[in-house]
Each structure stands twice: as C-alpha cells, then as structure tokens.
Amino acid sequence: MNKREVIVELAAEGGSFVLYGVRTGRRWLYSRSVIDWTPELIDEAHIRQKSDVVTSWKAVLRLLDQYPWHSLSPLIVHPAFRQKIWAAVQKRLNGDEHLTRKLERWREICGQPAQQDKRISSG
C-alpha cells in the first residue's frame, strides 16, 4: 500500500487544514482533511471533515478553494508541489496588500527567492 504524504499543511485558529497525496505509479490521488476545535469552546463537538479522493490538480484547487486556505498559515509544502502551490497562492493573494505578510510566508515555505527591490539608487 502506498504511503499518504502531506502535500500542504496549514494552521488555522483552532484547527488545521491538510491536503494529502498518495503516489500511484506516475499519478497522485489527493484528499483534504479539515479539523476545527473551536466548537468545543461552546461545549459542542469538534468538526472533522474528510473530502472524497480527487485525481487532478484542477480538482485539488476546487477542494482547497472551498476554504480561504491561502490566507491561513502554511506549515508544510511538499517539495514536489512547491511551484504549483506558489502559483495558486499568488493568484489568490494578488493585489491584496493586507496579506503581504502572508505572501512572504508562502514565498519562504515554497522555497521561492525573495523579490528584488526594483528601485534604483542614485549615487
């Protein structure tokens, strides 16, 4: 049996969000898990949701986009998926100046080079 690998793990206030992948030959199978402990603050059971398995990156993005995943705190990004995740995050955070710090954290965890300052100094 193939081992489940973490593709992306995100921390949320009171919970976590994880996209898993399983290698099956040359392709991957993906599923998402969400755990939310905040209902316990009002004496209700925590929420634990697992998605169906999907087989394409387009379907993965639909799974992720059911939540504001890009605005959560990234903990882990699988090295084989860093470029894909980085591209998806940039698209979703594009132009949102309030999330600049989030974008920098994503840049770091996805192993992307720091953006160069485009100002030219005179002197």
User: Whole-prediction pTM value?
Assistant: 0.79
Residue with tokens 């591209």: 87
Whether the Cβ atoms of residue 51 and residue 67 lie closer than 8 Å to each other: no
Each residue's pLDDT tens digit, 70-103: 988 899 999 999 999 999 999 988 766 667 778 8
Q: Any idea where the domains of the chain sit in the sequence?
A: 4-80
| Three-class secondary structure of residue 23 per DSSP | strand
The whole-angstrom separation of Cα 19 and Cα 83 is 15
Each residue's pLDDT tens digit, 8-17: 999 877 778 8
Confidence of residue 46 (pLDDT cuts 50, 70, 90): low
Residue 117 has pLDDT above 50, yes or no: no
Q: In 3D, which of 54, 42, 51 has the Cα closest to residue 14?
A: 42
Q: In 3D, which of 50, 56, 58 has the Cα closest to residue 19?
A: 50
Residue 99 structure tokens: 């999330």
Each residue's pLDDT tens digit, 16-41: 889 999 999 889 999 998 876 565 55
